[in-house]
Amino acid sequence: MRVIRGLLALMLLGASLAHAQVYNRNQAVPVQRVDYATVESVRQVEQQELIEDRNRGWKTFGGALIGGLIGNQFGDGSGRDVATVVGALLGANLAHNRNPGYQVRQVRLVELIVVTESGERLMVLQDRDPSMLFAPGDEVRLVFLSSDNVRVDKAM
């Protein structure tokens, strides 16, 4: 049972990372309903996410430009042209291979198991907010958003 729950949590983590909507806690968003619950357990989850580097082409171009400028300083006539081309190729290759096509970002989430007033047990996975720390026994509110997302806030 524990293995199945762990696999379910990993699947939800992957789904939440793939469909996560970034919103500011102070941002006004449409709400469908609000329920109140008690936190049963809290687990901190950390995951690395790969982000494509959209500037990689410009970095390669910059490497070629700098390599060409350096290569242009050597030789005369056609020798200078060859040095410029070789410098541009070496610069582009160096810049392309030195910069990976992705960046790594650390994603910090919190997994909350809550029990609603009606006795329903729910698991919510959301971004970790340092100003909103949870502990077992905390009274919370579940805010069901119109985008089929749920966020947990401390009950006021």
Q: pLDDT tens across 4-18, in order? A: 343 334 344 444 444
pLDDT confidence of residue 36: 92
DSSP sequence for 13-63: HHHHHHH-----TTS---EEEEEEEEEEEEEEEEEEEEEE-TTHHHHHHHH
Give 44-85 pLDDT, tens digit per residue: 888 766 666 666 677 777 888 888 888 888 878 888 888 888
Burial of 70: CB neighbours in 10 Å, binned 0-12, 13-18, 19+: middle
pTM of the shown model: 0.49
The alpha-carbon radius of gyration of the chain (Å, integer) is 26
Give percent of the chain with pLDDT exceeding 70: 72
Confidence of residue 102 (pLDDT cuts 50, 70, 90): low
pLDDT confidence of residue 146: 77
Confidence of residue 134 (pLDDT cuts 50, 70, 90): very high
pLDDT confidence of residue 69: 85
**pLDDT averaged over every residue in the chain:** 76
